[in-house]
Amino acid sequence: MSGAGEDRMSTNEWPLWEVFIRSKQGLDHRHVGSLHAVDSAQAVRMARDVYTRRMEGVSIWVVPSNSITASDPDDKAEMFDPAADKIYRHPTFYVLPKEVEHM
């Protein structure tokens, strides 16, 4: 780990980690909350105990909170509006032959 790790460790508090869970049938990891742990291995194990109650088949990601960069909500307009008029990105735009309708 680099200098960012040293910053986190300079206080006596355990670092904060954000937790993302993908359920057994899920497609994406969803943010579920945070917890304190001293390293990534402990963070994963604790996430399992706290956020999944040890359900099987779930995938857990933990990320140091400091590592997350968030978009500025005031940028919303420029960053997201343009997608609204590109409707060809949406699957329902296309009418497909019956044989491949499930795609």
Partner 1 sequence: MYTQAIDLPGGPKVVAASTPEELAFDARVAADRKVEPRDWMPEGYRKTLVRQISQHAHSEIVGMLPEGNWISRAPSLKRKAILLAKVQDEGGHGLYLYAAAETLGTSRDTVVDALHSGRAKYSSIFNYPTLTWADVGAIGWLVDGAAIMNQIPLCRCSYGPYARAMIRVCKEESFHQRQGFDIMLSLCKGTPEQKAMAQDALDRWWWPVVMMFGPPDDNSPNSAQSVKWGIKRISNDELRQKFIDATVPQAGLLGLTIPDPDLKWNEARDHYDIGVIDWSEFHRVIAGDGPCNRERLATRVQAHEEGAWVREAALAHARKQEARQAARQARKAA
Partner 2 sequence: MDARVQTLLRLGDAALILGQRLGEWTGHGPVLEEDIAMANVALDLIGQARLLLSHAGLLEGAGRDEDRLAYFRDAREFRNFTICELPNSGLANCAMRGHTQSGDYAFTIVRNLLFCAWQVQLWQALTDSRNPSNDAQLAGIAAKSLKESSYHLRHAADWTVRFGDGTDESHARAQAALDALWPYTNELFADDAVDAAAAQSGFGVLGAPLRAAWLAQVGAVLEEATLAQPRDSAFVSTGKSGLHSEHLDFLLAEMQVLPRAHPEAVW
- Contact segment (CB under 8 A) with partner 2 among 19-27, 40-48, 73-81, 87-95 equals 40-48
Site membership for partner 2, residue 14 (CB under 8 A)? yes
Q: Where on the chain is the footprint of partner 1 (CB under 8 A)?
A: 1, 5-6, 9, 12-14, 16, 32-36, 38-39, 42, 50, 70, 72-73
| Triad 32, 37, 11: Cα angle to 5° | 120
Q: Are 43 and 62 in contact (CB under 8 A)?
A: yes
Provide the strand spans (E) within 9-57.
16-22, 30-36
89 binds, among partner 2, partner 1, none (CB under 5 to 8 A by kind): none
